Chains A and B, each alone.
Chain A
């Protein structure tokens, strides 16, 4: 029997939001996969830990969509790394997702905290 994962006090990423978060982290400039993962972790005060098994597929998916572009540059580890950056259409996509997200948060909040008379 495989072991059950112990319950961890972390937030499961809602389906579809990972893409938005990645686009968001790249707003500050080009970054490689490791950096993006780390940025997500520190920005969320360690609450978000992205599985590498999800991160890299997502990066490639976004690149194929044309929202990200990439190039190889030397990294801090004396080794070339693949740096991703936002493209123009990527910026537009981020804006779209951002407003969609706001809309959703507002809606959910309305449902969860109804006005009390």
Chain B
């Protein structure tokens, strides 16, 4: 069984925290995308080559917007779990997170190996996805231990 133990409650708040962090950075990237700023190096910030690369969109949809949907869904699922304590929310979040962690890994690889530049906001989202997946994994493991 997958259930919430009192001493583990902080994990769910951590999940809320990381999905919120991912949501914030994805929102910022989406707004930047729609403001239509092209890549530039600024005196005060880095160079937004990654966020403006050809990998930054899937067809006509910016990847960042998909990120907003993804993190917002996770955020609501975690909040719903904290509120209603129904494990279905956590299971759904885990399925979503499996997809998210794969995408995040590919995006980090693209930044490292293909584009050769980093975008801080993209990395915040990618790393949040990975941490969420790992945190959820500790809960799923717990389920296996109890059912076997």
Answer yes or no: are A and B bound together in one complex. Answer: no
- B-side interface residues toward A, CB under 8 Å? none
- A-side interface residues toward B, CB under 8 Å? none
